Every structure is written in C-alpha cells, then in structure tokens.
Chain A
C-alpha cells in the first residue's frame, strides 16, 4: 500500500491533492472547525493555487452547514486573514494555502479568535471534534449567506504603516525588487510599497498559482529576484512566500541572503523601537542572539513551528518571534508571521541607519549552519535521540524538542522530523570545519545506533 501523503497534526492538515487530500476530508475539518468556533464569524482566504478554489468551496460548505457566518477575503495572504480576525472580532479563521509546499500540495491553517494559529491545546480540541465527528449542523433557517469584508485591505495597510517610520522610508525613495512567487500578496504588497513611495520592481507578481520556482524563500529560489535587484539598481530585494508568511532578502549587488537573516534583520528595527525579548526555535541561527545581546535583550528558544513559536512568544511577553525559515511575527500586536511587516521593518532599518542591506547583514556574526537528514525508521527515532541525550548528559542538553546542545559559539540540534521518517541534524558554528564536524559526529552516532536495525 502506497503511503498517503497526508499530515494531520500540530500545524493543521496538509497533504498531496488527489487521493490523500480530498474535499470530503476538508469538509469534515471545516465542520469540525465550525463546531469548535460555535457559529461565530469565521474569516477565510486562499492562495491562488487551483486546488485552493476547490478546497475553498469545501471549507465554505462545511462552515455554512454548522451555521457559521463566513467572511471570505478571496485570494488573501495568511497575515491578512489573521489581521481580519482581530479587526472584525471573528471567532477564528481558515487559510486554504499550501504555503511553502510545492504546487501539488495544499493545506488548511487554522487561526483562533486571537488571530494566531491554533496552539497545541486548541489544536487538540479541534482534532477531538474532528475525530468524534459529532458536528453541530445548523437547521436550514440558521444558514447564512457568504459575506465579503470590503475595505479590510485598506485597514490592514493602515495598520502596517502605523507600526513603522513611514516618513523615513518615504524620504529614501527606495527601489525594491520583489518576487511574489505567483502568490496571494502581489496586489496588496504593491499598494503598500507604493504608499511608502518605493519603486517596485516586481517578478512573478501574477497570482496564477503556478509557481515559477519552489515557493520557499531560500537563496536557490531567489536567483530571479537577485538578478533583478542587481541589473535594475535596486536598493534591496525580497521574495515573499505564496501566502505571504515568509520572506527572504537579497542585497543591492544581487547576493541572496539565507532566510536565516530575515529574523535578525527585522530584529534590528524592532528592538531599537521596542526593546524586549525575542523568541525563536531551537533550529534557528544564533545570529539573532548576538543581535539581541547587543541590545541588552535575551532570546528564548522553543520547539519548531509558527504556532509553537508565537505561543511561546505571547507567553514570554516577547516583542518579536520568528524562525530561520523567514517567518516573523511582530508581537504582541501581530500574532501571525507576516512577510510584508518584516519587509517594512528592514526598509525602516536601512532608511534610519543609512547603511545598505549588505552592510547590515555583514554586521551580524559570521556563522555557518550545516543541516543533514538521515532516514530513520519511525520506531527507532526516539531510541536514537534518547541514546544521544545520554551520551551528552554532561553537556546539559535541552530536551524540549529532541536534543539540543549549546556551547559558547556553536550549537547542535538533533530532532525527529514532524512530517517524514527522518532524523534532522542541524549545527551552527563560527567556521565550516566545526559545523561539519558537529553534524558528522552526530550522524555517525545515529548510524551506529540504527545499524543492524535497518530493514528489520
């Protein structure tokens, strides 16, 4: 039996469109969510993937059947959905978006009444309703028509502008190259940059849902925008994820920065304006720690993933939360990863510091990150991690999410993949040799543990 490429877990439901991710499954989840929300208004939006149209219909149907008021933003970025939930006082929201996954995938992201992705506890409640399948269907006279939210985009843009130094950015008349990845953000981002009196050099701006390159904003996927920035004399460039929750940056001379830079670059403007704690994941680069230290602030790390990082950030009263994947949330007001807001922060930093993006990036410590994935049977993953923990007991490991070891200038994180039968090994150090040695040693250790068990 072939593996069904479906994942129902902490970050909602996602899978390969077809036999795995079916409209019936989506209808069931929408009914569960409608039941969980208790008929309150639910804000929905979708990315421009073709399959999002089908799943949007399934979501609308399921929500209406449970008596929910449905406020449909149409093609809309995830951060816009989060904003609309807060602005309209909705009971929750659903984004139909495959986000950073390739075009054959799709997913539902569930937002709570606070506009943040459901945290672990709320997500478990939702899954209980889903598995119990006791949906609260509404009688015919409680079914509502689908509503729109006219003007919500204007209010979102006004909200973004209120959090940054608009005048400083306007004065610079920046030229900004942006790759929209044929996603949901093109129109709203164009309006925003226009309001900041930036000249936009767009690429892949049409919301076709057919992606010119894989959607994650990694250096390999930012070659187009890097070339554009360089050839057309941009001050900087950026690539937004399909649903606008992640961002990567390129410099004026066309160098694509690792998406690990997005958090520390955003933190520069944020900590200057509002000093406070920064929350990130165990697997994110230590660059942000160096930066926070320079501002006299601390960094708290937690398990990987937007819902967990934001949840921890809210609990810790942080002013910024984000990850090495390029997702940044400006807490406490904006509780969802928002690529546009991160872009605005970086523009503000470039404008007020008078330094180029390349210059700002080079002010961060030069760290080398190495990642490796080892295939590991699901029944052995925890055995490997446990042995690894015991092996390093003297290094006071953090065991919140796998095993994380930290030294003065380097760290190593070994964890089970949440989505595949893999062991993920990540290390960061000031030089390549040290980073590679950390990863290689961990891999050798893991192999020794699984040796003889594989194929058994």
Chain B
C-alpha cells in the first residue's frame, strides 16, 4: 500500500519512494517540463549509486528527448562535479538523479540551471507550473535529437579543485587520510583527489557497493567507524562525504568527530587567510564563523537556510567563501556550490601551510556547543508559533531572515519552519552545552507547554 504523502514536489525538486510515488511516468513528464523550461539544447543527467538510478535516468532521457533536448549522460557523479560540468560545457541545464541522504527506497530529481546552480524558488515554481499544465512542445521524429555520453565531468572537476590549491605544499606533507566512502557517487573521485594530493588513503571497508548503500546522513553518530579507523591507522584526519559529495564531516587526528559546522569554519578560515573579503553563511551556521571572520576584519552576512539562498547572497555581497553549517562549504571562485572536494583540498592546504594538526587548526577559534531539536507542528500552526516566539523575546536583537533568530553577544537561538516537513527546527548555540540546551528547552516549553 502506498504511503500517503511520500511524494514531494517542491523548490528543491521531486522526491518520492521508488515503487510507490516516484514512478517513471512522473519522471518522464517532469523531465519533459524541465526540457521545455531549459529549451532544446544539451541537458546533463547524472545519478548516484542507487539501484533505482537507471530506471529514473531512462525515464528522464525519454522525456528530455521528446521535447527536442539532447540528454548528455554523465554517468555516476557527485553533485558538485555535475554542477561544475554544466558551466564547463555550456549545457542548458542538468538533472541530478540522487536521493541524497534519504534511505535507499527514496530517489529524487534535482534540477540545475545553466549557471550550474539548483533552480531558485521562483524558477522552480515556473517549472512546476509547466508540469501542472501538462502540455509540452513535443518535437516530431525528424527533429528528435540523440543521447550523448560524456564521462569526463569528474576528471575536469577534480582538475579544477587541485588547480585551486597549493598541490606541492600538500604533497610535501604526505598526509594519511581516512575516508568513509559509504558507496555513494563521491567515493571513487574522493580517493582520486586525495591520492593526487599525495595522501595515503585508508578507507572504511565497503560491502557490496549498490546494495549495501545506506544513504545515511553524515552526522556525528554516523562517524564511529571512521573515528575508529583514524585511531587504529594513525591517520592525520578522517573525511566523510555525504553520498552526493556536497557536504563534509571531519574527524580530527585523535579520532574525535568535529561538529557538523567544522567544514565551513575551516574553509572560511583558510580562504580569508589567502584573501580577505565578505563571508556568507546561513542563519543556522555556528557563530565560530563570525569569530574567525572578525579576527581577519571581514564582515559576515547571513542568508536563509538552503544552498540556493546562500549562493544568491554570496553573489549579492561579493563573497568568495561561505556555506552552511551542515557541512556544506562553498568557495565560489572554484565552484559556486557546496563542494566537499574543494573543502577537503582547502583544509589539507591549510594544514600544510600552517603546519598545524587538524585539531590545532580547529582549536584556533573559540568553541561553542550547538543543540538542535525538531518540533512536529502542523502547517497552520507554524506562523502563530513563530509569532509567539517573537513576542516572548521582544526587545532582544533579532534576525527574521528565516524564521526567528534571537541573538546575544555569545549565544543565539533559532526557530524556523522546515522546507520539507511539517516541522519547526530549533537550534541554539552557546559557550556551554548546558546553556544551549536550556535555550532550546525554554523554546519547547513555550511552544508545547507540558510536553
């Protein structure tokens, strides 16, 4: 029996459960709508390693061809490489077939514009309108294009990443790096990148690539195997990418898993040392970024949560570096999207140039503790709940960019509606975990007293 509500058509694309809601019919029509939106030109299509990838890809190819586009099959690729390749070859757009961190029964289409970025909210709305109208300008048999294959995207992306850092300095250190490839699209290119940077790579053993694919989100709990490997192998650090390759978790030389925000903090730190300038992070990102930037005299701007918002704000403020606290660091001059490959290279460069260990580098910024909670909340109760918070903290410094963020000199509190679920996400950051926890508990008490 199909789960109700397993299909999600929204600004971030189309997500559904294979065999239930993500049917080939739906994918074909959405691809035809996207082809209509982009115009009759080359459209890249890449997948992750899920067993359903081929089914979804073929359906998308059929839809794209039917409206005169030329689908370019780029094979299994990490998302940042796909985004990079869109600009590199001047494609009209791209479709990423990836369930990202969803469990293996999920898969999704993410639509990427000709600028190599995910469709912005208003663009996604136009695409959804085209889909709902359901009338696509089909081409006749004689105007139909053919499928092309292009397996160069990963290599070109890695080349650009290595060009952006001081390869010789990194190679000179011959770092030992532990990785947890998780069987995703990022697994193979990660090893290639690290080896090209002269690193000795040890990997958490993988079972059968496609079937054992867990699709787990790289949170701290998920890093146990990697932490153990760092300790036993004596590696200088451990990296774990999410299956898409856009986000990065880090384990230091002691085998300690760092906060999810570590990637963006370390990348901002290094990039500002190379060149000062404004920084953009989302409202939920650790204030460690503010401390790192302040020490270098650089302003930090905050955007709504979501890659597209961060990138837009980076453009607006002329920021080269930024990202999101969930492990997604952005270095715009190299690849203007969340890119864990860029992050790995920049962090290794930082260690090589400074001579610090990873723990030493991360220890340079004051540490805070972050506490996160989710509160299930029906859609119609979200706005009143947020209003309640604003009233409760009247007079405090507030940022209303995304939900309600209340700020004090050394701590903050955030309540914002989720873009994908009927949930309010709560977060607080303070010098001590107990302080952060009490801020979040205060909010929970306010919103659902007695719960």
- A: residues with CB less than 8 A from B are 16-19, 22-24, 26-28, 30-31, 49-51, 53-55, 57-58, 60-62, 64-65, 98, 103-106, 135, 137-146
Contact = CB atoms under 8 A, between A and B. Distances in A.
B145 A50 contact: yes
B24 interface: yes
17 contacts: A17-B144, A23-B32, A27-B24, A27-B59, A31-B23, A51-B144, A54-B66, A57-B62, A57-B147, A61-B56, A62-B24, A64-B54, A98-B141, A105-B141, A140-B107, A143-B55, A145-B51
B52 interface: yes
A240 B29 CA distance: 36
B369 to A, nearest CB: 38
Given A57-B62, A60-B58, A64-B54, A27 B25 contact: yes
B62 A55 contact: yes
A58 B141 contact: no
A141 B66 CA distance: 29
B59 to A, nearest CB: 4
B248 to A, nearest CB: 26
A137 B6 CA distance: 15
Given A22-B66, A24-B29, A104 B142 contact: yes
Interface in B24-52: 24-25, 27-29, 32, 50-52
B139 interface: yes
By Cβ-Cβ distance, the 6 closest A-B pairs, closest first, are A54-B65, A58-B62, A61-B59, A23-B62, A17-B141, A61-B58
Contact of A138 (B19, B27, B138): B19
A98 B140 CA distance: 14
B18 interface: yes
Contact of B62 (A61, A135, A146): A61
Nearest to A26: B62
Contacts of A31: 23-25
Nearest to A136: B19
Interface of B: 17-20, 23-25, 27-29, 32, 50-52, 54-59, 61-63, 65-66, 104-105, 107, 138-142, 144-147, 211
Contacts of B211: 141
Among B19, B24, B57, B61, the one with the most A-chain Cβ atoms within 10 Å of its Cβ is B24
B51 A141 contact: yes
Contact of A58 (B51, B59, B145): B59
A145 B54 contact: yes
B62 A54 contact: yes
Contact of B138 (A22, A65, A139): A22
Contacts of B57: 61
A79 to B, nearest CB: 23
Contact of A140 (B28, B51, B138, B144): B51
Among A22, A27, A55, the one with the most B-chain Cβ atoms within 10 Å of its Cβ is A27
B212 to A, nearest CB: 11
Nearest to A49: B141
A140 B62 contact: no
A98 B17 CA distance: 34
Nearest to A17: B141
Contacts of A27: 24-25, 28, 59, 62
A50 B141 contact: yes
Among B63, B66, B138, B147, the one with the most A-chain Cβ atoms within 10 Å of its Cβ is B66
Given A27-B24, A61-B59, A140-B104, A104 B52 contact: no
A53 B61 CA distance: 9
A54 B61 contact: yes
A170 B147 CA distance: 41
Contact of B55 (A17, A24, A54, A61): A61
Nearest to B27: A61
B144 to A, nearest CB: 5
Nearest to B17: A140
Contact of A137 (B23, B27, B58, B63): B23
